[in-house]
Structure 1
Amino acid sequence: MSISHTIVHAFLARMDEAIVILAGYGMGMALYLFIGSLSYSNNTIASRTVRGRQSFLTVMQFSLTISALVASLILVVLFSGLSEWIFSRWFHASPLVVQYANETLLYVLPLALVTSTRGIFQGILAQARQTPIITTGVVVRISAMFLLLPIFFGWGQGSWVGALAVTGSVTIETLYVLFMARRPLSRIWNEHNETNPMPFWKLVRFSMPLIFSMNVSHLNTLLVTGIVSRLSPTGEGLAGFTVVRGFLFLFYGPFINMQQTVVTLANGVEAFRRIVKSAGFLFAIFSALLLGIQFLFYETVLVGWMGLDLILVDTIAPAMALMVFFGIFYASNHLMKGLSTRQLSTRNVGVSSITKLMAVLLAGALTLWFGDISNGALAGVVILIIAELTEFCVLLYSQRKRGTLGIT
């Protein structure tokens, strides 16, 4: 949902209480992504394990189980008062920011089932080498978002506008992907004699490190969001970090798909090298666009298109200048995670994620200890860069230890 968040931010920035609404939306979405990320690895799981009817049904059973768990957790967090405790006590957010954060959580409640289902069919499409359909699905989602946001904006103001637009547009995208996947799904459904389909509990063991890695990644974002919130009680730093995080999703979020690309297509060293070259080419283009926005067209894009006020633009400027370093490590990490997944060595992915979490906790503790950091958005990006660099070192060590990249 990389570009979706940036579009939402542009609409929310035009509301009367833009700072607190952006802060609440960013806070609520960070908590949702932490819980909802339990269902975000389905595309990789499906592309690696679905080979026939039995494995497809097993993956669907697994997906529905995870989706029900996510929805239940969100309901418990919302209605037990736990979310309010997290936002007010740990994040030190104001009552109005907490209200918008809870509002966001409520309106993205159905999203886990939708994204989980979408992931399975995206994995099936990737397995069938029909990735252009996945790209077209993103276009469908963006188009739906541009249709829904003005409608909801006309009904009222609040973070619910962005949350409901995200839920609605992803639902439309999922229906499109499901419709377009009917032919490869038909071939899978008619395959009754697949060899050694993975049983449910073996699938759980295989998937857990991947899910854990995704979950920890979003836990890191949630922790950094909390740190930034404590550094900026007025909400300005958190609003800035929310916008910056949207740009991170926009320009470098797509590299998460490199993990699935390696799993599906890297059937040899040369194939892997071609994927790395493609990733490097895309990284150069995205980074040039990002730096262009920051240093050449900031008034047009940030002030004109997104509607940010000049104070917020000045707040996020140093953080945006450093985002390229985040992108280098983020893209490299997902390429190496793809190798580990293809080798069925998902344990390496889990170990690197634990190390990454420890780096966030240590860097965050030091940041809060110094306590006089005025730019929360910059502090948040620096912590994220440290976390990605730490994970990069662990994954690189694991791959070098295998000797020949272990591509099979």
Structure 2
Amino acid sequence: MTLSHIIINGTLARANDAEVIIASYVIAMSLFSIMERLGVLLRNACSALVRDRVSFQAMSMVAVYVVATLMLLSATIAYTPIGPWIFAHIFGAESAMIGQIVDVYQILIIVTFFSAIRCLFQGVIILNRQTKWLTIGMVIRLIGMYLLSLVFIHTGYINAKTGAYIFLFGMMIESLVSFIEGRLLVKKMTKKDPSHHVERKSQVFRFYYPLIISSLIIVMVGPVINIFLGRTAEIELAIASYALALSLTQLFLSFFSYTHQIVLTFYKDHPRKVRQFTLMIGFIPTLVLALFCFTPIGPLVVEHVLGANERLMLATVDTLKVFMVMTLVFPFIDYCNGILMVRNQTNSMVISQSSNLLITSIVAISMTILAPAWNGMIGAMAQSLGMAVELVVLLYIVTRGKRARLMKKKVEGLGV
């Protein structure tokens, strides 16, 4: 996914008015990410709850409700005055940008549908440990997106909608690959596993509902940051540099973003090995990002590969340095979230992610007032410190739950 956004941002960075175009695309994506996140949760819920065709049927019905609701809400925003009002008054977009933002968001509605289909069947693929198909789908997707981006660059047709078209094309490709392989795996499942008790939509919703609440909370981080970046000294530069830096940071993190899926798949049988694996890989993203930021590699890639001008390149590299805090804590947040899903304690994620949003908002407000010239670095600092606090809260919840279970086992062993 992160490489997808790098392809898109690299294409948009070649436009004549790159800062405005990237900012318009990013603002539309910020609102889209709120809607899409609820569909992405289908992947986690499916891999955690589906074990036979009966449970998959229940999961599929929940997916239908989720997708229908998301499409209705998105269409209401895109095709009524509500959308322009949100972008102007909540995101602080300038009036000249509103038209471009709405145009992008109208295309992203279709992306929501294909993203949900992709995630539902990726859950089945992960459950069956056929993860090579995730890689195959992503590679085909990236090739398709890159080729389409070359067409836009060659023709000179580059505006905010260009990014949305590239994103939609890639999502259609990946969802098709996931659907084909996922359907084959579902057909091979037993109709009803006697040891598995998920049969009804209500059981799926009990697991899914806390994830919805926590995701609605955490997905607000992006819009909150963009809202306050809209109040910095140089709005377009702040949003564009933050977007490029975040895309690169997420690229380095993307190779470690399935830690929770590893926990879901292997933790019950091999808890010690999963912990060792997480510690082994957890510090790699920070080391790679440090190499990128503090050597000529970073400026070279941002300027010549992504096509940013010198001013945008310098601002992006400065923002990347702040994001090192985020790369340090993210793998361990993902591990802890996986533990909570294994324990069916998804309601605890509401607490940890609420703390993240609270700290992010406080830092963003404070820095916008005290240091508006920091531009994109304000967003990176707010997001990084918010995630650091989230990790502290998660570690407390996970260790407290572990102590409670150990105490329960001791009591049961004594026959009390």
- Report the TM-score range of the alignment, normalised by the length of the smaller protein: over 0.9
Q: Deviations over 1:181-230 (max 9, x none)?
A: 34421122644767422421221121112222233222111111111121
Structure 2: runs of 5 or more not aligned: 407-416
Higher mean displacement: 207-216 or 63-72: 207-216
**Aligned-partner residue type, residue 318 of structure 2:** P
Report the counterpart of residue 21 of structure 1 in structure 2: 21
**Aligned-partner residue type, residue 360 of structure 1:** T
**Aligned-partner residue type, residue 326 of structure 2:** F
Residues 121 and 189 from structure 1, CA distance in 2 versus in 1: closer, same or farther, beyond 3 angstroms? farther
Higher mean displacement: 282-291 or 307-316: 282-291
1:263 aligns with 2:254: no
Contact persistence 1:40–1:211 (CA under 8 A): no
**Aligned-partner residue type, residue 231 of structure 2:** R
Distance 1:282 1:142 in 2: 25
Following superposition, the deviation at residue 309 of structure 1 comes to: 0.6
**Aligned-partner residue type, residue 181 of structure 1:** G
Report the counterpart of residue 331 of structure 1 in structure 2: 331
Report the counterpart of residue 401 of structure 1 in structure 2: 400
Contact persistence 2:263–2:338 (CA under 8 A): yes
Distance 2:6 2:285 in 1: 15
**Aligned-partner residue type, residue 189 of structure 2:** I
Report the counterpart of residue 90 of structure 1 in structure 2: 90
Following superposition, the deviation at residue 249 of structure 1 comes to: 2.0
Report the counterpart of residue 55 of structure 1 in structure 2: 55
Higher mean displacement: 234-243 or 154-163: 154-163
Following superposition, the deviation at residue 324 of structure 1 comes to: 2.1
Report the counterpart of residue 101 of structure 1 in structure 2: 101
Q: Deviations over 1:235-284 (max 9, x none)?
A: 1111111111211221124433211221111114xx33433443444444
Higher mean displacement: 180-189 or 347-356: 180-189
Report the counterpart of residue 177 of structure 1 in structure 2: 178
Distance 1:184 1:406 in 2: 35
Contact persistence 1:255–1:331 (CA under 8 A): yes
Distance 1:398 1:298 in 2: 37
Q: Deviations over 1:294-332 (max 9, x none)?
A: 222134311111111110111122221122210122211
Distance 1:359 1:112 in 2: 29
SS of the residue 1:181 aligns to: helix
Following superposition, the deviation at residue 376 of structure 1 comes to: 1.7
1:293 aligns with 2:292: yes
Higher mean displacement: 390-399 or 111-120: 111-120
**Aligned-partner residue type, residue 308 of structure 1:** A
SS of the residue 1:24 aligns to: helix
Higher mean displacement: 228-237 or 70-79: 228-237
**Aligned-partner residue type, residue 170 of structure 1:** M
Contact persistence 2:218–2:354 (CA under 8 A): no
SS of the residue 2:373 aligns to: coil
1:392 aligns with 2:391: yes
Contact persistence 2:121–2:183 (CA under 8 A): no
Over aligned residues, Cα RMSD in angstroms? 2.2
Q: Deviations over 1:48-84 (max 9, x none)?
A: 1112222111111111211111111111112222232
Report the counterpart of residue 187 of structure 1 in structure 2: 188
Report the counterpart of residue 312 of structure 1 in structure 2: 312
Following superposition, the deviation at residue 405 of structure 1 comes to: 9.3
Following superposition, the deviation at residue 131 of structure 1 comes to: 1.4
Q: How many equivalent residue pairs?
A: 405
SS of the residue 2:397 aligns to: helix
Report the counterpart of residue 236 of structure 2 in structure 1: 235
Structure 1: runs of 5 or more not aligned: none
**Higher Cα radius of gyration:** 2
Contact persistence 1:2–1:249 (CA under 8 A): yes
- Where do residues 6-17 of structure 1 align in structure 2 (5 Å cutoff)? 6-17=6-17
Distance 1:96 1:148 in 2: 27
Distance 2:351 2:299 in 1: 43
Report the counterpart of residue 30 of structure 1 in structure 2: 30
What TM-score results when the alignment is normalised by the length of structure 1? 0.93
What TM-score results when the alignment is normalised by the length of structure 2? 0.91
Q: Deviations over 1:114-160 (max 9, x none)?
A: 11111121111111111122122211211111122223443722111
Q: Percentage identity across aligned positions?
A: 20
Residues 43 and 406 from structure 1, CA distance in 2 versus in 1: closer, same or farther, beyond 3 angstroms? farther
Residues 74 and 193 from structure 1, CA distance in 2 versus in 1: closer, same or farther, beyond 3 angstroms? same
Residues 280 and 152 from structure 1, CA distance in 2 versus in 1: closer, same or farther, beyond 3 angstroms? farther
Contact persistence 1:51–1:194 (CA under 8 A): no
Higher mean displacement: 127-136 or 272-281: 272-281
Higher mean displacement: 334-343 or 200-209: 200-209
Residues 273 and 160 from structure 1, CA distance in 2 versus in 1: closer, same or farther, beyond 3 angstroms? farther
Report the counterpart of residue 145 of structure 1 in structure 2: 145
Contact persistence 1:5–1:249 (CA under 8 A): no
